[in-house]
Structure formats: structure tokens, C-alpha cells
Structure 1
């Protein structure tokens, strides 16, 4: 009984801290986060803009994809073309939120996690890289990439 109370207390403290920082609680099921992080509708156009942005998502530093207007795309990570055919929205959501749950050696940043990170710039300490809405927008875009 005492262990449960301690665990619940720690969990409540983490959830309170995470919520204060904009991190939304989520449940991982297998290799996915089945439930959207927000109730607001996702916007694939906003998601595409985040993926292509060199200031927000920075996705194209490592990935390449169907972005003819963006020069110098990465080749360190999987091509984003066909992402919607390879992974479900729920699987993409986990990969964005915290891909290291699937591969601890991944170079993919945790875009919606703040706990347990090291070497975080002062401006980003305690803040997720992408908001819950931004995660959902990126997921909405990536699922459209079927080829």
C-alpha cells in the first residue's frame, strides 16, 4: 500500500510538472500512442510547414522527403516519403513524442518529452520542442505521405 501511495505521489508530481510545461499525458500501447494529444482538429498544411521549417521542426536536417523547395535535406534518417504507408498515425505519434522508447540509440529528438533529457540548452529546459497541437499537425501531414 505504501509503495502505491509513493508511486501515485510521484506520478501526480510529474503530471503536474509536465502539464505546467505544456507536455500532455499520453498512453503508449505497443509501438504507438493511439489517442491524439489534443481534441482540436489537426491541420496537415501546418504539419507540412513544421516539417519543412529550419526553425521549428528541423526534420529535414536528418530526413529527406517530398519538399522540392527545400535544399540540403538530410540522409541520416528514413525518407519521409511514404511515411503514411509505413506507419499508422498512432505509430508516427510515438516516434515524434519520444522515439527513443522504440530505439534507445536513436538520434531522433524527443519532441514532446521534457523528463530525463541531458545536454538541453537553457532556453529549452523543461519545455517540449513541439506542442501537442504541433505534434498532431505533423502526424496529420505525415499520414498523407503514401508514396
Structure 2
């Protein structure tokens, strides 16, 4: 019984540490467009990242990007760079920076900032036609960003 309590305490502390380690969108540190530090301190899950990339209500990266490694994607995008070989073209820090806020690297990009809560120009409050009363939530969570980075790091030429 004492061992179970000790294991539960360790698990609780680990969960608390993981939550405490999450970097808030306003605290992300960019270095020339790249974000070197993990946003969560928890390794990303490539399989979960692939799901976020192909889910319309989440990242939906495949709406703009072609990914040959995902042949089952219906209507893959062709208006943004193909992501095959992404791990050969960009570092982990650069990929994380592009996901957090691609405008920090490519000023004229139309890619959304997936982990940003402020500094928007004319955002709306849902579909009300009114301006929001507070900062908007990020499109993706910190762990979802880390999961996508983990998946992109599997894409090599």
C-alpha cells in the first residue's frame, strides 16, 4: 500500500512539473525565428502530431501542404511548400518556430500563428462580428505543437 501511495505521489509530482514547465504563448523565446526550447518539456508524439495535421478542427496542415507520406489525405494542399523532407530542410527549433508563429521567419507568409494569443490585427469574437473582449486562445496547445514537430522530424528525403 505504501508503495502505491509513493508511486501515486511521484506521478502527481511529474504531472505537476510537466504543467509547470509549459511555456505560455506570450513567453515563447524566438532566436531568429526559431524556438529552441520545448514548449512543454515533454517529448512530442509523432502519431498524435499526424492526427493534428490532418484534423480540420485542429491544425489541418494538409489543407495547404502536400505530404507524400500521407497518401490517404483527401484533397491535399498545394498552396504551401510540400513537407516531405522537412526534417532535412529545417531544424527542430526552426520547425517549432514556424508552427508557433511563422511570421517570425517569413514575414509575408499566410500561415497562421498556431501558438499566439495577442498582437492580432482585427480578430473577431467567434462569429459574432464583434471584437474579442480579451486575448484569443492559441489555435493549438503547446503539446500539440510538440507533437507536430515530432511528426515533421520523421519526414526525411
One fold, TM greater than 0.5?
A: yes
Unpaired runs of at least 5, structure 1:
1-21
Alignment check: 8 A CA contact 1:52 1:70 kept:
yes
Unpaired runs of at least 5, structure 2:
1-23, 127-131
What are the residue-to-residue correspondences of 1:38-77 with 2, within 5 Å? 38-65=40-67, 66-77=69-80
Alignment check: 8 A CA contact 1:52 1:67 kept:
no
TM-score where L is the length of structure 1: 0.79
State the shift of 1:55 in Å: 1.9
State the shift of 1:118 in Å: 2.6
Residue 102 (1) aligns with residue 105 (2): yes
Question: How many residue pairs were aligned?
Answer: 126
State the shift of 1:62 in Å: 0.8
Alignment check: 8 A CA contact 2:32 2:104 kept:
no
State the shift of 1:42 in Å: 1.3
Residue 92 (1) aligns with residue 95 (2): yes
State the shift of 1:120 in Å: 3.1
What are the residue-to-residue correspondences of 1:1-147 with 2, within 5 Å? 23=25, 25-65=27-67, 66-123=69-126, 126-147=136-157
Aligned to 1:15: none
State the shift of 1:119 in Å: 4.1
Alignment check: 8 A CA contact 2:26 2:117 kept:
no
TM-score where L is the length of structure 2: 0.74
Task: Tell me which stretches of 4 or more aligned residues in structure 1 moved more than 3 Å.
Answer: none
